[in-house]
Structure 1
Amino acid sequence: MSAIELYARHTPGFEARVDHALAVLREAAARHPGRVVQATSLGAEDMVLTDLIARHGLPIALGTLETGKLHDETVALIGRIEERYGVGVEVYRPVEETVVHFVRTHGEKAMYQSIDLRKQCCAIRKLEPLARMLNGRSAWITGLRREQSNTRAEVPFSEADDQGRTKYNPLADWSWNDVWHYIATHRAPYNPLHDQFMPSIGCAPCTRAIAVGEDFRAGRWWWEDEKAKECGLHVKQEEPAVVSIIGAHA
């Protein structure tokens, strides 16, 4: 079964949640003209946001992190977005020399050796490119939802990040059923890996399919303690260094 067949369900209040998400996006565009970007992980939630932005012609840039370790199916979505919506996607990659040095020092499978090395890999491939994406911008948009994990259970619709930018989370109150009902209704493109029981998709070495009954993010960094399973994109610096994805995607 496809992800749409498995998950797409109309639930009470869906239309109101769509309207509210659009209102949050409009507010972001109005308050930060020319200085707001959707930081898309190319996951299902972010494809909903991209569709809303493009469908309503909102002046919000689209940006993504091409870590060098993404699945081919994920990378292919960049071209599909540009073809479908006629908009460009800013692509930010890690500094090649830094990646080469890290791999030479610690090996291709360093992320499995320790949480510290995995976080260093995330910092090189995600955090530094994200900093370049956000440079000169006063706001950004993510696909974070409260339902995704315990660490995201209180995600607000907007908040200040640790650099003083406004971070908007328009889908904070959406369910997984909502996400897929929207994708089905508007025929929004999505990553085919979602059809292979991968609800949360990050870098290929750090993502696996989940089994029936497993937690939504069980396929991310599955060898680590549950409390450590963050990449850093959505953790403020003053908080404990548990790296959290802009699923992501992160």
Structure 2
Amino acid sequence: MSVLRRPPEGLVGTLASRWEALLAQLGAIADAYPDAQLASSMGVEDTLLIHALMQLPCRLEVFLLDTGRLHAETLDLVAVVEQRYGIRIRVMHPDPQAVKDHVDAYGEYAFHESVALRKACCGIRKVEPLRRALAGHSAWITGQRREQAVTRTELPESQWDAAFGLQKFNPLARWTTAEVWGVVHALGVPYHPLHDRGYPSIGCECCTRAVRAGEDLRAGRWWWEQRATRECGLHAAPTVIPRAVPPSIP
């Protein structure tokens, strides 16, 4: 197990315990899977994970999927993070010919017309570049949390990713939004400026809006669709083993 730095002064109680557990978990992942990568969209969960990874003796690689439709603030934050930690974030781009063919066939904004066309766009701009990013690696790490969406309520911290053929880790799965922000503020972790403008979840500019009071964290993603369809294909739903039902008591 890697020797990890303890939390700084001021990070106490539950947040300190969460931080220590996260460092230990990431250290164990790095030891077992030294070629593991963090997939970052530059959301707050991802910059928290980048900050944590920078505490490890052996730094893991970080990559970003640049769909060609990201907010300018997202790309600006990449430069901020690279300078802050002295790292280079690997940026993956979609196949330009595949993008052109799709736009020529269906239009630039076809993703509004049907879930199938939207997922086809995500497949070209996100899923295929992700497949290339993960090729030859044994594991990847995400910033997914159970609290984020109805599609993630059973999210495990570790799972076999059958879609891409490698181990997948979601170390923040059980973290609450308050815990994420508590650690981020306590440690001075850089975060996306759109979070302060009502964007808890940030993707492509054309497919992301600010959320309204009372809406869930991912209500601003593909808001014209039903909640159950609001995934892009990067994250297949984990296999859930049903709990045994206890016999009724007379």
Match of 2:184 in 1: 183
Query: In the alignment, which residue of structure 1 is the partner of 2:123?
Result: 123
Aligned-partner residue type, residue 47 of structure 2: M
Once superposed, what is the RMSD of the aligned Cα atoms?
Answer: 1.8
> How far did residue 13 of structure 1 move?
2.1
> Is 1:216–2:217 an aligned residue pair?
yes
Aligned to 2:19: 18
> Does the 8 Å CA contact 1:65/1:126 hold for their aligned counterparts?
yes
Pairing 1:157–2:157 present: yes
1:57 Cα deviation from its structure 2 partner: 4.0
Distance in structure 2 (CA, Å) of the matches to 1:11 and 1:213:
30
List, as ranges, runs of 4+ consecutive aligned residues in structure 1 with deviation greater than 6 Å.
none
Q: Distance in 1 between matches of 2:69 and 2:222?
A: 14
Q: Which structure is richer in relative contact order (CA contacts within 8 A, separation 6 or more)?
A: 1
Classify 1:226/1:234 alpha carbon distance in 2 versus 1 (closer, same or farther; 3 Å).
Answer: same
Query: Match for 2:26: what amino acid?
Result: L
Task: Compute the displacement of 1:178 (Å).
Answer: 1.0
Q: Give the whole-Å Cα distance in 2 for the aligned partners of 1:137 and 1:145.
A: 23
Maintained 8 Å contact 2:158/2:170: yes
Structure 1 gaps of 5+ residues are 1-9, 240-250
User: How many aligned residue pairs are there?
Assistant: 229
What percentage of residue pairs aligned between the two structures are identical?
Answer: 45
**Structure 2: segments with no counterpart, 5+ residues:** 1-10, 241-250
Change (3 A) 1:102 1:151: same
- 2:230 — aligned with what? 229
Aligned twin of 1:28: 29
Aligned residue number for residue 61 of structure 1? 61
Secondary structure at 1:15 match in 2: helix
Q: Quick check: 1:171 aligned with 2:172?
A: yes
- Superimposed CA distance per residue, residues 146-204 of structure 1 (whole angstroms, 9 cap, x where no aligned partner): 11112211211111101431111111111111111111111111110111100000101
**Structure 1 equivalent of residue 96 of structure 2:** 96
Measured against aligned partners, the alpha-carbon deviations of 1:31-85 in whole angstroms (never above 9, x if no partner) come to 112x110011110100100000113344311111000000000111111111000
What residue number does 1:42 align with? Answer: 42
8 Å Cα contact 2:158-2:168 kept in structure 1:
yes
- The answer to whether the 8 A contact 1:17-1:173 is kept is no
Look up the match of 1:193: 194
CA–CA distance in 2 between the matches of 1:77 and 1:106?
Answer: 32
Taking the aligned partners of 2:21 and 2:111, their CA distance within structure 1 comes to 39
* Structure index of larger Rg: 2
- TM-score by structure 1 length? 0.87
